[in-house]
Structure 1
Amino acid sequence: MTSTTSSPRRAAAAAFIGTTIEFYDFYIYAFAAALVLGQLFFPSENPMLSTMAAFGSFAVGFIARPFAGMVFGHLGDRLGRKKMLLVTIVLMGLATTCIGLLPTYAQAGIWAPIGLVVLRLLQGISVGGEWGGAVLMASEHAPKGRKMFFASFAQWGSPAGLLLALIAFRCISEMEQDALMSWGWRIPFLMSGVLMMVGLAIRFGVPESPEFAEVKDSGQTSENPVLEVIRKDWKSILFAALAVTIGSGGFFFTNTFMITYVTQYQGIAKTTILDCLFVVTVLQFLSQPCSALLAERLGEGRFLKWVASLCILVPYPMFLLVQTGNLFYMTAGIALAVILLAALYAVIAGYMAEAFQARVRYSGISIAYQLGSGVSGGLTPLIGTFLAGHFAGQWWPLAIFFSGLALMSLIGVLGLAYLRGVNAKAVGLRLSQGVV
């Protein structure tokens, strides 16, 4: 028999620190793709083609995520959340460290980009399994009535990891160009090995999720949770995948594509946009827990509907401010968008988790999140780069694209709210009829 003592604060802290490390690894690849990987691994006379090739390798990691979500979701619902989180943090740390040791195209020819893509796939597999487990370890340890807020700690790791990645790249961006391109770019990747050991030490000390332990002790674990959740809850998976669209795609729009946009199409220095994004990320880091607390007071469903609606409108003032080229106005414009994205991102994890039963919850939220973020997050920088090149000098196609991502999230939130209402009525009817 499994015995698990709930430890809400410790579980929330472990979820936060673990996802911070995972997202640091993921974001440093995104920044490297925007700044150096195109030249080092995909050299071309056309800078746009090199950048698109680098973003293509970035997208590869997202392609792996839905499949990884299925595999780790199955194992997490069968064997436990904690075991999967130990595996994913080791896998991410090793893959990222090895990227920092890779020879470039000039040194190894075609084997260099092949090795980069393979390691990027491993990164994607790791994140595909990490997110669902971290959310559930925090929410399933949470006190009654606080699941949404505690689940937000796993989401809080995203801006924290981004801050670490921005600091790392801001430091190396001060290097001489030759030093940066020869060895400086490797430093942020090699730091991952140290962070991996920190994450492992913290996660070893957290007990298994009490909700999973209860399911396991009662013999109610699913024989095939992936097939079960797809068969019974495919509508919840679909709407949840739509709901996370702007939370993933929007961040990679503002934090990854925007670097390329302002440096290549507006002639703004790399250090300027990195400073801008650093301030924006600090504001995101501070605002996310406040958004989760506000959502608890207002009601998560109502809060998410309003935020998703505002996200449809926000790219237009954002681009008007970015077009000024002024650091203060650029920061204000991007911050306005990111704070709204962060508000949705902070709350959506716990809202999604409530849509699935504990016996299939790891599988359900992992498939939904990785499907939604895999498509939107992986393709957004590529589509943005294409639109910026095709409509050179015009920002409105990019704003419309951003609004489309937000509209998909609004549809997903409305769909989840509808299903929750239907399920609540069904439960109430069974209770009134004396059916357990």
Structure 2
Amino acid sequence: MNQSATPSRQPVRAATAAFIGTMIEWYDFYIYATAAALVFGELYFPSHDPFLSTMASFGTFAVGFFARPFGGLVFGHFGDKIGRKKALMTTLMMMGAATVCIGLLPDYASVGVLAPVLLVLLRVVQGIAVGGEWGGAVLMAGEHAPQGRRTFFASFAQLGSPAGLILSLVAFRAVTSMDHAAFLSWGWRLPFLMSAVLLIVGIVIRLGVNESPEFAQLKRAQQTATLPIADVMRSARGLVLFAIGANTIGIASVYFTNTFMIAYTTQYVGITKSMILDCLFAVAIIQFFAQPLAAWAAERIGSARFLKCAALAAMISPYPMFLLVTQGQPVAIVAGIALAIACAASFYSVIAGFVSGVFPARIRYSAISLSYQVCGAIAGGLTPLVGTWLAHRYAGQWWALAVFYTCLAAVSFACIGALDARRQKQAAMDEAAEAVGAAN
């Protein structure tokens, strides 16, 4: 069946492909995050001080985030110039290959300093791949969407994040139930090696999706940008800066409530690894169902208004979260983290469609990728490190961590307000121009 024969199916197919593809990419990214919290410190950065090993391990985790803006620039360029689909196929294969190689990597005891060096290099490849993935997946879903449905359809790319998290937690929960020696020896490698199977599934699904209709129209009209990032810097610098800030809580919350929370609860609250993974699994399921509901609600009350409400709720959420988590009981832990995640995940679900609608199609891949990935490098990469430092500095006191989380949400709230004001001003100018044209 040729592609043009089934145009009516393409919006659903594109949304499904965006979901499956980002699920695989985020699965790969999250299993690294989980391994960084559980085993990489011991296997690749051995030290007599667990704090130093954990910080070194989270340092390699942060390296992937700092590689993400580069991936966003490279694949944003190709996505705006030669097509969204080709860029996405490349990012998926890069991520899968790097993840499988991590699963085969010898540890420090076997090859010495070469082990952490190779781990960092593979983490850089992961970062470049996921840096190019997000923007393309959001656009393939959003640009295929029916009129007026961009927010909801683009949210399917965001849904890949909790789905990938669920898969990663299931994979690590299975192997952490093994004998500890076996887990450290080879068990932790299995989630990474499973990525080879997921990679094949993702490639097959993405082959069935047409190129974005908006990009195809630009290409037919020969209106694609020659150097997209230069156009972004020339015409949309202010929008990019606000978009970077707007993404903050959507990105940082995931690594605060998952990656950092694993280390925090096991080291400072006395919770076992298996218990916190079980709790995070339950929370991830709640997040998975909350996100599409949030996108549906945002379409009805307006994306900007919804995002402001979600950011305000996120500012308040860390205080009850820590009160519940520090009780050390599974039900309380799930309730506390779920409360914070429900607020941040609702924001995360809607922000992609909102931000992508701010930029013109000819530079959209580059602009949203740069915005999201620079924010990811700062807010995502540094959040576990800052959280670990605060927990060590204020041992036994969670208030500093809660204030840190509130500040992250406040940045998003302020920047959403600024973007909304800019968007309303532009809409008013466009209406005035149309009125003048009609009068003439």
Shorter-chain TM range is over 0.9
Structure 2 distance, partners of 1:269, 1:281, is: 18
Return the match for 2:357 from 349, 354, 357.
354
Asked whether 1:317 is paired with 2:329, we answer: no
Structure 2 distance, partners of 1:94, 1:69, is: 19
Bigger mean CA deviation after superposition, 148-157 or 236-245: 236-245
Asked whether 1:24 is paired with 2:27, we answer: yes
Match of 1:386 in 2: 389
Match of 1:165 in 2: 168
Match of 1:14 in 2: 17
Match of 1:240 in 2: 243
Give the letter aligned to residue 421 of structure 2: Y
SS at 1:324 equivalent = coil
Whether contact under 8 Å (1:15, 1:138) holds in the other structure is yes
Give the letter aligned to residue 37 of structure 1: F
Return the match for 2:56 from 53, 56, 62.
53
- Output the TM-score relative to the length of structure 1: 0.98
Match of 1:263 in 2: 266
Asked whether 1:425 is paired with 2:428, we answer: yes
Report the CA distance between 1:407 and its aligned residue. 0.6
SS at 2:201 equivalent = helix
SS at 2:168 equivalent = helix
Structure 2 distance, partners of 1:118, 1:39, is: 19
Structure 2 distance, partners of 1:414, 1:151, is: 21
Match of 2:36 in 1: 33
Asked whether 1:251 is paired with 2:280, we answer: no
Asked whether 1:190 is paired with 2:193, we answer: yes
Report the CA distance between 1:231 and its aligned residue. 1.3
- Counting only pairs closer than 5 Å after superposition, residues 11-160 of structure 1 correspond to structure 2 as 11-160=14-163
Give the letter aligned to residue 356 of structure 2: A
Whether contact under 8 Å (2:270, 2:328) holds in the other structure is no
Whether contact under 8 Å (1:3, 1:213) holds in the other structure is no
Structure 1 distance, partners of 2:147, 2:396, is: 52
Report the CA distance between 1:354 and its aligned residue. 0.4
- Output the TM-score relative to the length of structure 2: 0.97
Structure 2 distance, partners of 1:292, 1:425, is: 26
Structure 2 distance, partners of 1:258, 1:38, is: 16
- Counting only pairs closer than 5 Å after superposition, residues 258-407 of structure 1 correspond to structure 2 as 258-407=261-410
> After superposition, what is the alpha-carbon deviation per residue over 1:210-262, rounded to whole angstroms, capped at 9, x for unaligned?
00000110111111111101210111111111111011111100011000001
Asked whether 1:179 is paired with 2:186, we answer: no
Structure 1 distance, partners of 2:232, 2:431, is: 22
Structure 2 distance, partners of 1:423, 1:367, is: 22
Report the CA distance between 1:3 and its aligned residue. 7.4
Structure 1 residues not aligned, in runs of 5+: none
Structure 1 distance, partners of 2:61, 2:363, is: 30
Structure 2 distance, partners of 1:269, 1:238, is: 41
Return the match for 1:211 from 214, 220, 223.
214
Structure 1 distance, partners of 2:154, 2:418, is: 21
Give the letter aligned to residue 255 of structure 1: N
SS at 1:43 equivalent = coil
Match of 2:230 in 1: 227
Whether contact under 8 Å (1:52, 1:385) holds in the other structure is yes
> After superposition, what is the alpha-carbon deviation per residue over 1:152-194, rounded to whole angstroms, capped at 9, x for unaligned?
0000000000000000000001000100000001000001111
Report the CA distance between 1:373 and its aligned residue. 1.5
Percent identity between matched residues is 57
Report the CA distance between 1:132 and its aligned residue. 0.2
Bigger mean CA deviation after superposition, 95-104 or 233-242: 233-242
Asked whether 1:408 is paired with 2:424, we answer: no
